[in-house]
Chains A and B, each alone.
Chain A
Amino acid sequence: MADEIMLLDWWSSMFGMRVRIALVEKGLKYESREEDLNNKSPLLLEMNPVHTKIPVLIHNGKPICESPIIVEYIDEVWKDKSPLLPTDPYQRAHARFWADYIDNKIFQLGGKIWTRKGEDQEAAKKELMECLKILEGELGEKPFFGGENFGFVDVSLVTFSCWFYAYESFGNFSIEAECPKLIAWTKRCLQKSSVSSSLPDPLKIHDFVVQLRKKFGIE
């Protein structure tokens, strides 16, 4: 029986992008449904009643929620192609640690940069740069966080790269100036079709943030 795969998504979500990348890496056909986050569909409410958030992967009618969980699920079910997690338990634990670190830090800090002003914004900028420097240190001289191959941590972090331009514009700073190796890594990732086809244009994200700031009265 052919697998039925549906993804409930939202174009600018870094979390949705992670799932898109994983699905393309595995060469999977799927139906993508763009949710209206101001008017959530009955399907989304049914499939993710606890959080009512995207992304949700629906595989043969069964929902899987939370992007790192979805990516691991995809990696486990379609394990024969493009493995995202290593096989060694220690390296797997290492990858899960860094994915968790990314999830605890980047989204909240990035969000503060474009929603706050003054001291709050400065503090968020400083902390974001510290986190990115730590991540750059973890990358080291490897081509990818996964080593020679693009992997779970790469998937977790690269989707924020299309938001960097927006963070930099509204925060008035340059990520490349302080983390050149990290930016080089994002360009390396974008050479992969799974990444380039899953990430929107950073300018589009920037314009979207302009609209959000108007909507929330941030200036």
Chain B
Amino acid sequence: MAGSEVKVLGTWASPFALRVHIALGIKSVKYEWVEENLEAKSQLLLESNPINKQVPVLIHHHKPICESLAILQYIDEAWPSAPSILPSDPYHRAVARFWAAYIDHKWFTWLKGVASAEGAEAKKAALDRVREGLVVVEEAFGKCSKGKDFFSGDRIGYLDIVLGCFLGWLYVAEKRNDVKLLDEEKMPGLAAWAIKFCLDGAVKDVMPDKDELLDYANMVFQAMAKAKLNAPPNY
């Protein structure tokens, strides 16, 4: 199939867009990547995702699919030949979806909360919550992986992609706050999983370099802090 039939609108730093990169890689689908500028969104992005105006968007046969979790499931269904991304059993699928919702709605919110926490106490509380969340996910990893390398078993799948896309930003939080979050002692399963995930064939060539991500994050946060200082008071 020609690459232009599959287009991905994303940004290199977006963990959600990274999910789409990885999933298409697992299915060996050729695609065109369109790097969006979120300060000046393309007409294509605004037309493809008029509701949220966000990346990623997958465009397949000119039809847009939005929201990364919906995109992952679409990729699995539209290219049904192995390897599959979601488990085949409905109960295991429900478990995978449950943990994906936990990671996106709870854990990632806490990770974002580290950046917005003001003051040493609030920062520490925010970092503790991220760590506690990882302990919960460590337990889930044990149950899902059943002793194998990945949440999905022998090869990466839905939940691996959902959590794995955040590893770069987790590293950013660790470096910016000079702490360890993915602790080999407290979360040995996840720590080992993270290394294997990053080495996976569908991941290693598309995952952004974590130090480049750190430089980018430092730049963004610096700009935000400056904007805050210069902003008129909020009466």
Contacts and interface: CB of A to CB of B under 8 A. Distances in A.
Whether both chains belong to one complex is answered with: yes
Interface of A: 50, 59, 62, 64-66, 69-70, 72-73, 76-77, 89-90, 92-94, 96-97, 100-101, 134
A134 B102 contact: no
Contacts of B222: none
A65 B77 contact: no
Nearest to A62: B91
A100 B70 contact: yes
B213 interface: no
Contacts of B91: 59, 62, 64, 73
B102 A50 contact: yes
Interface stretch (B7-15, B59-67, B145-153): B59-67
A101 B51 CA distance: 9
B6 interface: no
Interface of A is mostly: helix
B73 A92 contact: yes
Contacts of A89: 74, 77-78
B94 A97 contact: no
Interface of B: 51, 60, 63, 65-67, 69-71, 73-74, 77-78, 90-91, 93-94, 97-98, 101-102, 136
Contacts of B74: 89-90, 92-93
Contacts of A77: 90
A133 to B, nearest CB: 12
28 contacts: A64-B91, A64-B98, A65-B98, A66-B101, A69-B94, A69-B98, A72-B94, A72-B97, A73-B90, A73-B93, A73-B94, A76-B90, A76-B93, A77-B90, A89-B74, A89-B77, A89-B78, A90-B63, A90-B78, A92-B74, A93-B73, A93-B74, A96-B67, A96-B69, A96-B73, A100-B70, A101-B51, A134-B51
A134 B49 CA distance: 13
Contacts of B98: 64-66, 69
Which 9 pairs across A and B sit closest by C-beta, in order of nearness? Answer: A89-B77, A93-B74, A76-B90, A96-B70, A73-B94, A93-B65, A89-B78, A69-B97, A93-B70
B24 to A, nearest CB: 14
A46 B136 CA distance: 15
B144 to A, nearest CB: 14
Nearest to B97: A69
A85 to B, nearest CB: 10
A50 B63 CA distance: 37
Contacts of A93: 65, 70-71, 73-74
B77 A92 contact: yes
Nearest to B101: A66
A134 B65 CA distance: 18
B54 to A, nearest CB: 12
Nearest to B77: A89
Contacts of A97: 65-67, 70
B58 to A, nearest CB: 9
Contacts of A94: 65
A134 B94 CA distance: 29
Nearest to A59: B91
A92 B78 CA distance: 11
Nearest to B63: A90
Nearest to A65: B98
Contacts of A76: 90, 93
Nearest to B70: A96
Nearest to A73: B94
Given A97-B66, A97-B67, A101-B51, A64 B73 contact: no
Contacts of B77: 89, 92
A101 B54 CA distance: 13
A185 B63 CA distance: 27
Contacts of A69: 94, 97-98, 101
B162 to A, nearest CB: 14
Contacts of B71: 93
A151 B106 CA distance: 28
Contacts of A62: 91
B143 to A, nearest CB: 12
B28 to A, nearest CB: 18
Contact of B67 (A59, A70, A73, A100): A100
